[in-house]
Amino acid sequence: MFCPYCRNADSRVVDSRLADDGSAIRRRRQCPQCGRRFSTVETTTLSVIKRSGAGEPFSRSKIINGVRKACQGRPVTEDDLALLAQEVEENIRASGVAEIDAHEVGLAILEPLRQLDQIAYLRFASVYQGFESLDDFEEAIGTLRRQNEDTGQRVPTGLQRPLTAH
Ligand SMILES: [Zn+2]
């Protein structure tokens, strides 16, 4: 790797440490020619295999773009989206795979998105999982309600169950 300051072809590692919970190594390097220091980050490559069979490098910005549409009009910030994409990448990397199907990337998005915003989750799931009828929505909402009851999470406005008489 060339020194970014003087383009010298050689550099010396002066420090190495684990980063991102061990999924990356950060190296501090020094150029023997100009003496300046710079950092490199080493991670395993992570490829996403598309339906066509072609692979492309995993990209957080693709995750963000895919989820952003489902979040339109919802109280979700760009920071929330960046954190979600980071969580998706960390979860996939933690599973130790070097390649992942695009379909499984979608699956890996569902859970963090559910925790971020349930309406955005329903929108994303309806497209991603190909909801075809009201029954599909009803089933997904039913699952959300059960999970909300388990965790004591508030049901979003509009999804509240009508009060039942006891
Ligand atoms: Zn240099």
Confidence of residue 165 (pLDDT cuts 50, 70, 90): very low
Residue 4 alpha carbon to ligand 1 centre in Å: 7
Same domain, 64 and 107: yes
Same domain, 23 and 77: no
> What type of residue is 163?
L
Residue 42 alpha carbon to ligand 1 centre in Å: 20
Looking at the domain assignment, is residue 91 inside a domain? Answer: yes
What is the pLDDT at residue 22? 75
Between CA 95 and CA 150 the distance in angstroms is 26
Per cent of the chain over pLDDT 70 is 91
Same domain, 35 and 82: no
Evaluate if residue 160 carries a pLDDT over 90. no
Closest Cα to residue 115, out of 149, 79, 148, 72? Answer: 148
Confidence of residue 166 (pLDDT cuts 50, 70, 90): very low
Residue 43 alpha carbon to ligand 1 centre in Å: 24
Between CA 48 and CA 97 the distance in angstroms is 11
Same domain, 109 and 62: yes
CA dihedral 98, 100, 106, 109 (to 10 degrees): -20
Between CA 165 and CA 152 the distance in angstroms is 21
* Strand ranges inside the chain, DSSP E: 12-19, 24-30, 37-43, 47-49, 55-57, 99-101
Residue 161 alpha carbon to ligand 1 centre in Å: 66
Q: What is the mean pLDDT of the chain?
A: 89
Residue 20 alpha carbon to ligand 1 centre in Å: 27
Give the mean pLDDT of 126-147.
Answer: 92
Same domain, 72 and 147: yes
Residue 2 alpha carbon to ligand 1 centre in Å: 8
What is the pLDDT at residue 153? 60
Evaluate if residue 156 carries a pLDDT over 80. no
Give the mean pLDDT of 22-37.
Answer: 92
* Triad 40, 93, 123: Cα angle to 5°: 120
Evaluate if residue 101 carries a pLDDT over 70. yes
* Token representation of residue 49: 């295999």
Residue 38 alpha carbon to ligand 1 centre in Å: 9
DSSP 98: S
Looking at the domain assignment, is residue 162 inside a domain? Answer: no
Closest Cα to residue 67, out of 53, 85, 55, 91? Answer: 85
Same domain, 35 and 99: no
Looking at the domain assignment, is residue 4 inside a domain? Answer: no
* Strand ranges inside 31-118, DSSP E: 37-43, 47-49, 55-57, 99-101
What is the pLDDT at residue 112? 95
Same domain, 24 and 86: no
What is the pLDDT at residue 159? 54
Range of the domain at 121: 47-151
Same domain, 65 and 144: yes
